[in-house]
Amino acid sequence: MIDLEVPKKFVPLVKQAAGLADDVFRPISRKYDLAEHEYPRELDLMSAVIDGLQDSGASQGAGARTTSASENSPSGVGAGKRAAVSTGNKNGSNLSSVLSIMETCRGDVGLTLSIPRQGLGNAAIAAVANDEQKARYGSKWAAMAITEPDTGSDSGAIRTTAIKDGDDYVLNGEKIYVTSGERAELVVVWATLDRSLGKQAIKSFVVSRENPGLKLMRLEHKLGIRASDTAAFSLENCRVPAEDLLGDPEIRIEGGFGGAMQTFDNTRPLVAAMAVGLARASLDLTTQILEKAGVTADLAAPVHTQPYAAARLIQLEADYESAYLLALRAAWMADNGKPNSMQASMAKAKAGRTCVEIALTCVELCGATGYAERELLEKWARDSKILDIFEGTQQIQLLVVARRLLELNSSQLK
């Protein structure tokens, strides 16, 4: 049974991540929001500290780093594959990543996404790579390229092609909205081996940023998470060794898309954690601002007897708590070998929607202070929206949940 307390072995990690949010991220958050596309040099030293802790076994890691074969052991790091089913209670790398990301995103979501070698592509590798590939990519920073100009939420409609040519695959297509695409060393590219076969032919390939066939077209200017670079790429006769195809190279008509989709089972709880962290930051700062103005929420009193601002804070705290618990459940299930696709989508849907509502409401409750740049509330409101969009939009998450509950496939419920 899931334990709702933070496991004792993760307490040092959570404290370290909280210190990182308060002492490193918050002080430079506005700086890199204004200096979009400028690399946060302060993260280099922090990354070295994380590496040292991981090498010593003192840390579980601060993000979605690729893990070794022992990824679900107490000394593993990052979000890894689902553990083998056990009768005990395992608190492993998925839960540790969620807890640490919640803390770092109290400081800044964009900076969290900019931590070297902690990219969403690393979680994709952890989900479907074999042991040899994990060892080969383990020390590198990987971005993930799924979205295309004509393909957003429907990952099965990907048009980027991968054609086998001798010992290589030749990739052609275009990818947009690639988080950390410019800075990462690797890009996990989703492509189809045969467009006529739909989802079953979708595979993921690890492509080096130095590959001449992978061309950076532009960096996006964005509403939020400006500290994180977001790239667009074209793939023009991009040759990738066959050994860099992740997972099974064969096209499986039954369940062939499952390996690729397990990536989302790993990354959606991480994005939910980002949303939970930003929501916590907004609530904490708003509570402080309102208390200075003489408005304090009384949790022991009926909501309808309290001032509007206090009543809204209580309602938002309740929404926050449900999002927090759903994120923990999805990660815990992965650590304990339980299928978590529906729960991962529930967590992502609830956390994304709640994060946006909390951030915007906190701006409203704080009035001019919330709207001005004197505080980070307006920035958090801008940052929040992406957390309801990437790794699958709100609508897609609800569709996944509905299919699971009704036991229908994608062709039966669209």
Query: From the candidates 71, 103, 148, 391, which is the catalytic residue?
Result: 391
Q: 236 an active-site residue?
A: no
Contact 301, 54 (CB under 8 A): no
81-84 contacts at long range (C-beta below 8 A, 24 or more positions apart): 81/126, 81/127, 81/262, 81/266, 82/262, 82/265, 82/334, 82/335, 82/337, 82/338, 82/339, 82/340, 83/334, 83/335, 83/336, 83/337, 84/337
What are the DSSP calls for 340-374, one per residue?
A: -HHHHHHHHHHHHHHHHHHHHHHHHHTHHHHHSTT
Task: Report how many helices (DSSP H) and strands (DSSP E) the chain contains, helices first.
Answer: 13, 8
What are the DSSP calls for 54-123, one per residue?
A: HHHT----SS-----TTTTSTT--SS-PPPPP-SS----HHHHHHHHHHHHHHH-HHHHHTSTT--HHHH
Tokens for 200, please give them.
């079953």
CA distances (Å), 233 to each of 39, 114, 236, in order?
19, 19, 10
Nearest to 286 by CA among 370, 355, 382, 385: 370
Torsion angle of alpha carbons 179, 181, 187, 191, nearest 10°? 70
The residues that are catalytic are 391
